Structure 1
Amino acid sequence: MSRTDRPTQSRVSRGRSLAVAAVAMLATVVLSGCTLVTTIADRGSETPNGSNGSADGLDVIDPDLPDDVRSYSEQELDWWDCQGFQCTMASAPMDWDDPSKGDIELAMLKVPASGDPLGTIFVNPGGPGGSGVQLAAAAEYLFGRDVLNNYDIVGWDPRGVGQSTAIDCLDDDELDDYLYPTPDPAEASMSEEELIEIMTERERAFGEGCLEKTGPMLEFVDTISTVHDLDMLRATVGDAQLNYLGFSYGTELGAHFIDTFPERAGRMVLDGAVDPSLDRLESSLAQREGFISATESYINNCLSGPECPFTGTYDDAIEEIRATMDAVDKALPKHTDGRTLTSSVINMAISASMYDESMWPQLSDAFSAYDASGDPSGFFSLVDTYNDRAPDGTYTSNIQEAFPAISCMDAPAETDEAAIAAYNEAMQELDPFARPGLETVGDLTCQEFPFESRATPGPVSGAGAGPVLVIGTTGDPATPYEQAIALADQLESGILVTYEGEGHTVYGGKSTCIDDIVDRYFVDGDVPEGEPVC
């Protein structure tokens, strides 16, 4: 791994639901050829807003909202037919504190209830940067039949994401260079100052590209702005309270909604929970520990089977992987498309495979193919799937641009050299695949971002909200189980639901026990007794 590769925490800081993304990939096929960025004249047959009135005397729209903000909640959404679904675009202010700065557009997709709807469930797949539009389009594969019968399912692409007014930073070739950098042999003889300048310039160019291509909206892609968008969208569908299913980062979004609008929180399910109180370095260390733990489970599972590319004990397997990484960094073999295989690509392939046990065999096949013939395609296939990179070199989403931009606007980069050095030392001790690096280099992506963060991490409480289901998986690599415990403790009405297993997120067919708890909660309002374990 080149010492000028991007720091780990700038790539995977809060968790992205690949288990959910695998389901949502079905939606990509469903939506192919159907874009939401269309003129009114292109819209097909339209249907009016639904309205579910008030809940417990609560008005759908807060009567105390200022007029310049209230108008967004009062807008009429023109839904049109979209490949068997209903689609629309909603307007939101770029800056909720100053709507005069202009509007942005939010893409929405609805799967109407098959029966008389109790209301709407909004869904978010995580990221930040995941497409709620794609997730909603896969609702039949995600929700139980009773939920689909009783609720409209609505997904939206949050500000900066997908088919909404989107973050754009680099073209596809530039994104390849950014995500799959080819090491420069000259780096071996460079001074520490020269190496830091190369790394800094790479991240500075990324941030400048984001500002140039995205414009002033870039400053307002933070999660709290999305929380206000979501409350507005709740009102536009006629619901007095928000019913919500959020995965991974979507739990952080949901937790902040509960904390900001506790009286508006309806039936809320947070699966693969993020602890919003952690700062960027704490979150990165906690997550890396989760990935290393999951990697140990993968290796031990592999070694117990008949066809494993590793031999001996867990420690032996780690040494074999490190030897492969060392050899790769010396040889710098090429993929057929010209990209260079590095230890960084292999490391990312390992991490991407930890999101779900079903991906473990593919990782083993990648190591076996490389060991047998030097074929690196298996590693690239895993990383390309994670990065939403198609075989032709195009990127099918903007998640690798939205993810760092939103993350940087949500939490300040650590600049204290002592804290950064302590973090790097801890990472070296924790991660068996860590390469010797520059101890004073931290999260350069956010340090060089054009805007300072609009928020500071801290605990949430949601005082006054109804019961909230917080689901944690004991072997979750991306959002470790301890974070679910922490979030359930922080929320005054949080109820911890535990799944004993591997992988990132669980609702949607992985556990009948979890699915039943969530479905009964949404449909009947049943709140589990105690803290159930599945």
Structure 2
Amino acid sequence: MLHSLVALTLAASLVRSTRAGSNNLQTSQIKWGACDPSVVNDTSLSCGFLEVPLDYQDPSVGTARLALIKANATGERQGTVLFNPGGPGGSGLAFLNDNKDLFLRLTGGVYDVLGWDPRGVGNVTVPGDTFCFDNREEYEALFNGTVELTGIEEIGNFANDSDVQALLDQASALQQKYEEVGQRCLNSPNGKYLRYLGTAATVRDMVSIADALDGPETPINYLGISYGTLIGSWFVNMFPERVGRVVLDGIIDPVFFAAHEISTHFEHLLVSTDTIYKVLITGCALAGPAGCAAASEGDGPLDIDAKFQALLKAAYDAAKADPAAPLTSGQIRLQLYFELFSPTDWAHYMNTVYPALVASVKGEAQNNRSLVEQSRQLSGRRVFKRTANTSPLYTSASIYCADSPDLQGTTMTDVLEAVIAGTRNVSHMLGAILPAPLYQCSFWPVRSVERYQGPYNKTLANKILIASNTLDPVTSLAGAEVLAGLLGEDAVLVRINAFGHTTLAVPSKCMEGIIAAYMANGTLPANGTVCEVDADFEVFHGVDTAMILAELPDGDV
């Protein structure tokens, strides 16, 4: 049964009463040692564990065990910087293992950099990832014949009434299946922990880690990207007196997240996607056939778009003729959406993946399964996360949905009608993407025992830095502007004149320098400072960011 909770309102400080200033907890010391080589291969990094309460208001419930990883400062140590790589579901252990040098640069080399797998994440922290099926075959058997597996088939922004009806006809069965998934998750080994997952608990865990590392009441330094910014915006308002140097990059609007069911407002995240798609096809056209396989001599962006539309139409027609078609237009859209996150991958996508998609739809290639799996293998920085050839992870859903507004009687018909409206009114190219964990939140059976719901305008002990790209496919600049506006003089907003998910998506010495200067000595630039992408970074061969942006209509940027 769903735990009975007080209805969420923006005026409420917490769903459950808390003491804002402290975790009120004696933490154990962390014993550092060598990392498990099956998880971390950089031997310069140290690993350890910290036990924390599952429920900070009821220690009798038991404890969680957080897996930690640390890179030592390269200069004179000033303290510790904690970071979260997003998701939710991104592994701090894996991210620091892969990006140690970047984070030491960003923090000026004067801090130990501390990553951790938050509760509900990974296979080392306890509780870890949520699995609701014994294997992938069991999952596919439940969702066989639904858009959960095939993606949404539509053409022309749902111009065909038959596409609308075909989608809505699945609503009742999908809702039953999502409700069944929720019950499977409750009955899984992690089920007993689901109500103790969520962002508020992660914030309190972060404070516990900082207390153990540097002592209670010391300023807490933090760098969060993507979902990590929700952790950050909750942290600076739950513990404003503990705010040290904090960088939030790729902002989830915390006010919107608190007030709306994300399952029926997913289009809110997609406001920049069509423009970034224009950026992609413009870059391809500028590169020409020598740099982009989709381009022919003399092609402009509209010509590249016509080829994409033809690919989608061919996949759509194939699926209509044969429901067992191995590659659908919905799967192509889903993969394309996630490509927008990483401009550093665009040349590979357009020169290798796109031709393979065309060949597959034409029946000239047999490795369709691998193409489908590519659309489901997503990095920890991204909103959605799945595993390949194993039972799907429900890690993202278990955290996002635990934080979501209480169940409001929303139906799957409501969700799918919102998808249709979002495709028609917000993102014509990529509004109809599914599956996505966020669509399950209206049917998720539990909510976290603690959820912070504002206010988000507390007076902070120190000013923080908020960063964004001009165009981000999931955390728009508008969200950064909302948070910066709420915090007023306690926040400085900077952005890169670029596209991709978070400012880390593209190289910018300007942005790196701003973050490093702030972390090392507290120096902040003027509010509204705009950085450029490094001129030597080419999106396609011979094509840089500035060249692409110069070709876009003024209203698009």
TM-score for the superposition, normalised by structure 2: 0.73
- Whether 2:219 is the aligned partner of 1:241: answer yes
Aligned partner of 1:262 in structure 2 is 240
> What displacement does 1:115 show?
3.6
Q: 1:467 aligns with which of 458, 463, 469?
A: 463
Aligned partner of 2:282 in structure 1 is 300
Aligned partner of 1:309 in structure 2 is 294
Aligned partner of 2:6 in structure 1 is none
Query: Which amino acid in structure 2 is aligned with residue 227 of structure 1?
Result: V
Q: Distance in 1 between matches of 2:68 and 2:432?
A: 45
The CA deviation string for residues 147-174 of structure 1, in whole angstroms up to 9 with x for no partner, is: 4631111101111011212123234415
Query: Which amino acid in structure 1 is aligned with residue 202 of structure 2?
Result: T
Q: Please, which moves more after superposition, 411-420 or 299-308?
A: 411-420
Aligned partner of 2:525 in structure 1 is 528
Aligned partner of 2:267 in structure 1 is 285
> What displacement does 1:357 show?
0.9
> What displacement does 1:126 show?
0.6
Q: Distance in 1 between matches of 2:356 and 2:525?
A: 47
Preserved contact between residue 86 and residue 110 of structure 1 (Cα < 8 Å):
yes
Gaps of at least 5 residues in structure 1 are: 1-61
Query: Which amino acid in structure 1 is aligned with residue 355 of structure 2?
Result: S
Q: 2:501 aligns with which of 499, 504, 516?
A: 504
SS in structure 1 of the partner of residue 523 of structure 2:
coil
SS in structure 2 of the partner of residue 142 of structure 1:
helix
Q: Distance in 2 between matches of 1:497 and 1:192?
A: 41
Matches within 5 A, 1:8-87: 69-71=24-26, 73=27, 75-82=28-35, 83-87=43-47
The CA deviation string for residues 176-208 of structure 1, in whole angstroms up to 9 with x for no partner, is: 6369625899x9999888622221122123212
Q: Distance in 2 between matches of 1:358 and 1:220?
A: 37
> What displacement does 1:422 show?
6.0
Gaps of at least 5 residues in structure 2 are: 1-18, 36-42, 154-161, 532-557
Query: Which amino acid in structure 1 is aligned with residue 78 of structure 2?
Result: L
SS in structure 2 of the partner of residue 474 of structure 1:
strand
Q: Distance in 1 between matches of 2:399 and 2:226?
A: 15
Preserved contact between residue 419 and residue 431 of structure 2 (Cα < 8 Å):
no
Aligned partner of 2:347 in structure 1 is 361
- Whether 2:50 is the aligned partner of 1:90: answer yes
Preserved contact between residue 182 and residue 339 of structure 1 (Cα < 8 Å):
no
1:481–1:76 Cα change, 3 Å: same
The CA deviation string for residues 18-63 of structure 1, in whole angstroms up to 9 with x for no partner, is: xxxxxxxxxxxxxxxxxxxxxxxxxxxxxxxxxxxxxxxxxxxx99
- Whether 2:469 is the aligned partner of 1:491: answer no
> What displacement does 1:451 show?
1.2
Matches within 5 A, 1:188-203: 195-203=170-178
Matches within 5 A, 1:122-271: 122-145=82-105, 147=107, 149-162=109-122, 163-164=124-125, 165-166=127-128, 167-174=130-137, 177=140, 181-182=149-150, 195-213=170-188, 214-239=190-215, 240-271=218-249
1:356–1:184 Cα change, 3 Å: closer
SS in structure 1 of the partner of residue 115 of structure 2:
strand
Preserved contact between residue 263 and residue 442 of structure 2 (Cα < 8 Å):
no
Preserved contact between residue 472 and residue 485 of structure 1 (Cα < 8 Å):
no
1:436–1:189 Cα change, 3 Å: closer
SS in structure 1 of the partner of residue 254 of structure 2:
coil
SS in structure 1 of the partner of residue 244 of structure 2:
strand
Query: Which amino acid in structure 1 is aligned with residue 442 of structure 2?
Result: Q
Q: Please, which moves more after superposition, 117-126 or 212-221?
A: 212-221
Q: Distance in 1 between matches of 2:21 and 2:442?
A: 39
Query: Which amino acid in structure 1 is aligned with residue 294 of structure 2?
Result: P
The CA deviation string for residues 79-126 of structure 1, in whole angstroms up to 9 with x for no partner, is: 112243211111121122212111111111111223432100001001
Q: 1:347 aligns with which of 333, 342, 353?
A: 333
1:258–1:434 Cα change, 3 Å: closer
Q: Distance in 1 between matches of 2:376 and 2:365?
A: 17
Q: Distance in 1 between matches of 2:399 and 2:137?
A: 20
> What displacement does 1:127 show?
0.8
Query: Which amino acid in structure 2 is aligned with residue 90 of structure 1?
Result: L
Q: Distance in 2 between matches of 1:282 and 1:445?
A: 10
RMSD across aligned C-alpha pairs, in angstroms? Answer: 3.6
1:383–1:64 Cα change, 3 Å: closer
Preserved contact between residue 258 and residue 465 of structure 1 (Cα < 8 Å):
no
Preserved contact between residue 110 and residue 520 of structure 2 (Cα < 8 Å):
yes
1:184–1:193 Cα change, 3 Å: closer
SS in structure 2 of the partner of residue 106 of structure 1:
strand
> What displacement does 1:230 show?
0.8
Q: Among the aligned pairs, what percent are the same residue?
A: 27
Aligned partner of 1:15 in structure 2 is none
Q: Distance in 2 between matches of 1:514 and 1:455?
A: 33
1:366–1:261 Cα change, 3 Å: same
Matches within 5 A, 1:331-410: 331-332=318-319, 340-364=326-350, 365-372=352-359, 373-374=364-365, 376=368, 377-378=370-371, 380-386=373-379, 393-394=389-390, 400-410=393-403
Preserved contact between residue 250 and residue 475 of structure 2 (Cα < 8 Å):
yes
Query: Which amino acid in structure 1 is aligned with residue 441 of structure 2?
Result: C
> What displacement does 1:362 show?
2.7
> What displacement does 1:267 show?
0.3
Preserved contact between residue 142 and residue 507 of structure 1 (Cα < 8 Å):
no
Aligned partner of 1:451 in structure 2 is 446
1:403–1:339 Cα change, 3 Å: farther
1:251–1:183 Cα change, 3 Å: closer
SS in structure 1 of the partner of residue 271 of structure 2:
helix
SS in structure 1 of the partner of residue 70 of structure 2:
strand
Query: Which amino acid in structure 2 is aligned with residue 306 of structure 1?
Result: G
> What displacement does 1:431 show?
2.8
1:479–1:145 Cα change, 3 Å: closer
Preserved contact between residue 49 and residue 68 of structure 2 (Cα < 8 Å):
yes
1:435–1:382 Cα change, 3 Å: closer
Q: Distance in 1 between matches of 2:467 and 2:357?
A: 38
TM-score for the superposition, normalised by structure 1: 0.76
Preserved contact between residue 310 and residue 320 of structure 1 (Cα < 8 Å):
no
> What displacement does 1:428 show?
2.3
Query: Which amino acid in structure 2 is aligned with residue 170 of structure 1?
Result: F
SS in structure 1 of the partner of residue 74 of structure 2:
coil
Aligned partner of 2:9 in structure 1 is none
Q: Distance in 1 between matches of 2:211 and 2:310?
A: 57
Aligned partner of 2:535 in structure 1 is none
